Structure 1
Amino acid sequence: MGDNVVVSNMELERLLSMKGGKGEGSYANNSQAQAIHAKSMHHLLKEALDGVQLQDPNIPFVVVDLGCSCGSNTINVVDVIIKHIIKRYDALGLDPPEFSAFFSDLPSNDFNTLFQLLPPLANYGVSMEECLAANNHRAYFAAGVPGSFYRRLFPARFIDVFHSAFSLHWLSQVPESVMDKRSSAYNKGRVFIHGASEITANAYRKQFQADLAGFLSSRSLELKRGGSMFLVCLGRTSVDPTDQGGAGLLFGTHFQDAWDDLVQEGLISSEKRDSFNIPVYAPSLQDFKEVVEADGVQRGSPLVVNQPGDASEVGKALANTCRSVSGVLVDAHIGEKLSEELFLRVERRATSHGKELLEQLHALVDLGKVKKMRCHTVSGA
């Protein structure tokens, strides 16, 4: 059965990260869908940035990306934010301030890969216009900030703009009742909320709302007066919390069945499977509204397939995407060798259902076109 141990909630914050490096299963090479979604919302981001109160140009302008992970997406969005703010200063005939960008994620995040992707800082004395014109340079000072965004990360009234995309669905912990065999919410036989009982789903929902409240409380103290926060959240349109939309596509049937394969083949025990749960919750708009007022989300596909007509490509895309966001936890729980076996089975199962998966992907995208909703800007108090 191996000598690895159950990943406890205390260890989760220390271990959780997207798959680092630049390999086939890395997050850096499996986050194209997030990049497409982010680009489609640039106009909404810029609209939010138009409401940011510009400070004295002698005061540095501070941008933070929360849940930055280790790919180029976070760098691209920081570029968009800073370039737009510079244009606002230019329109007022003011010299822009210096900029600082903080990239924040849990301590286990692969900051090394992220920093290797950062373009070099423009040389001292180079004008801002020259810096922006040179695509191979950046116009801001950069730093990494390790820690959970469900707690304080920065001094009070320090940040002008917070940005966070596709991160808040990650819970601070698996709800304790879900892991308690004595509880009616115990998620026996399952590794995710998708298809679980209503009681289990409600436990996840309460954990999400408690985490979100902590997140917003911390940011309200750190945000400057007149600052703004732009959040992009993985969500669902169904009122049924066990129907997890795109998250269910990644961690639902094929992921669950792959775990069951390992149990049936005697590679792991049923107890080993039952002691693993993905700490993810895709909220409905109502779930979110109960914590803070909001007016919408934009739906899209959870993965990108280069050759959608090829079932094997569909299977590989789903398995690689699933592994890029959950592989670190799976490795810690059952070891790298069994983890390799698990995701091979995910790929095989997804490949055998390639046509069905494509239909589900198209349904998600079409729903996003019909139900296009606006993002909400949370301003500093």
Structure 2
Amino acid sequence: MAQAANTLAMAGDNAYNENSGQQYLAMEASIPLFEGLNLETKATFVDYGCSQGAASMEVMRRLVSQLLPHSEATLVFNDLPSNDFNSLIKLLLATGSFDSTKTIYPCIAPNSFYNHVMPECTVDIAFALSSIHWLRQIPLPKEPTEGFEEYLRKRTNRNAAAAHKDLIEFLKLRGREVKPGGKLIVAAPSPCADNTDGRIAGNEKLRCALFQAMDILMDSGKLPPNASAGVYPPNHVHTQQSFQAAVNETEAMWVIEKAYDRVIPHPAYQAMLESQKGTQDIELHKSFEREYASDVVDWILAVFKPFMQKWWVEQGLDEGLCEGVFQECADLAKVEFVKSGGAALPVAQDFVFLRLNRC
């Protein structure tokens, strides 16, 4: 079976912005990499994989603040043509208030970042926050004989080679677009290092709850029999080591200047713990767990939704029923997450942060 190109962006109607609290925390953890930059009075900043722009706007604001008065800044927001650019455009109005002493030109570049996005040697600062783990092609679906855990294990191994090839291509393309001496700053999801705080188990229970919800809907006939086989997003997480391996193969375009790892929790977990403090009411504790479950399920579905609905329709679900079935699946997943004990565990993601210098 041939692999299709990955052309689907995050869930639209501002859903990703509304459910990207963890990605926003990852952006905040990357801020030290944007400090102390040597910028010209005319500068171009590009976000590769901006989605709907909530985190991107804060980075652009900080970059503009480092420019001298009366400088000019071109701000380029890149994502797939299927991205919800309408939600982004509403945020772009705020660029006018970044700094009245500077001239700002916001632009949109609807294109895959596995293609050329900018002219050669025109970018001063490139960044990719929570986006570089997306693959160029859709991985093959789960075989009918595979369990979900087996599929994920095999999927990770199969995707490693594709992810390495994609990362090299990304670095080569950006190497042509970024000026010598320019920077590429990355915040990328990384494999969870350990389970001391329960985050590996919490993440697994969240994903399993989603697939259990689909199983329930398949058993009841509301979803086609193969509805869960092809919905997992096309991504693969990277490490400092995998980045270094890719840099070593990019013809000396890049040097890693800084690198560090951080654990980025989903903010809803800490919010639940804070809410539960000072009360012994069991029912109240349970209500806070349900709120936490709702937040993290909505968060993961902001990523999964386009892939789920596209696959369901391909498998025979009436397109007119898709939104209603999706909502029922989301509600079931929230129940399953609590039932499995997931609401007692953190949902968190390790991230790797890097600043690369263009040689």
1:117 paired to 2:91:
yes
Bigger drift between 227-236 and 202-211 goes to 202-211
Q: Distance in 2 between matches of 1:247 and 1:111?
A: 32
List alignment gaps of at least 5 residues for structure 1: 1-7, 90-94, 133-137
Over 3 Å counting, the alpha-carbon distance change for 1:292 and 1:107 in structure 2 is: same
Paired letter, 2:346: Q
Give the alignment's TM-score, normalised by structure 2: 0.79
Paired letter, 2:330: F
1:70 paired to 2:52:
yes
List alignment gaps of at least 5 residues for structure 2: 249-255, 277-287, 313-321
Alignment of 1:242-261 (within 5 A): 245=200, 248-249=203-204, 252-261=207-216
Candidates 142, 151, 170, aligned match of 2:115: 151
Candidates 208, 212, 222, aligned match of 1:267: 222
1:18 paired to 2:26:
no
- Equivalent position SS for 1:143: strand
Over 3 Å counting, the alpha-carbon distance change for 1:303 and 1:255 in structure 2 is: farther
1:345 paired to 2:323:
no
- Equivalent position SS for 1:281: coil
Could you report, residue by residue, the CA deviation over 1:191-221 in whole angstroms, capped at 9, with x for unpaired residues?
xxx6536543211111211111111110000
Structure whose residues are more often strand by fraction = 2
Corresponding residue for residue 34 of structure 2: 45
Q: Distance in 1 between matches of 2:96 and 2:299?
A: 34
Q: Is the CA contact (8 Å cut-off) linking 1:70 and 1:110 kept in structure 2?
A: yes
1:218 paired to 2:173:
yes
Corresponding residue for residue 4 of structure 1: none
Could you report, residue by residue, the CA deviation over 1:147-177 in whole angstroms, capped at 9, with x for unpaired residues?
11122111110100001100112212223xx
Paired letter, 1:236: P
How big is the shift at 1:272?
Answer: 3.2
Candidates 322, 343, 360, aligned match of 2:346: 360
Paired letter, 1:29: E
Number of residue pairs the alignment of both structures matches: 324
Structure 1 stretches (4+) deviating beyond 6 angstroms? none
- Equivalent position SS for 2:76: strand
Candidates 324, 327, 330, aligned match of 2:305: 327
Q: Distance in 1 between matches of 2:80 and 2:61?
A: 22
How big is the shift at 1:291?
Answer: 1.4
Paired letter, 1:255: L
Paired letter, 1:37: A
Candidates 158, 166, 173, aligned match of 1:203: 158
1:314 paired to 2:292:
yes
How big is the shift at 1:307?
Answer: 3.5
- Equivalent position SS for 2:6: helix
* C-alpha RMSD of the superposition: 3.2
Over 3 Å counting, the alpha-carbon distance change for 1:81 and 1:43 in structure 2 is: same
Give the alignment's TM-score, normalised by structure 1: 0.75
Corresponding residue for residue 299 of structure 1: 263
How big is the shift at 1:250?
Answer: 8.0
Q: Distance in 2 between matches of 1:272 and 1:34?
A: 28
Bigger drift between 247-256 and 196-205 goes to 247-256
How big is the shift at 1:312?
Answer: 0.8
Q: Is the CA contact (8 Å cut-off) linking 2:205 and 2:337 kept in structure 1?
A: no
Candidates 50, 71, 74, aligned match of 1:97: 71
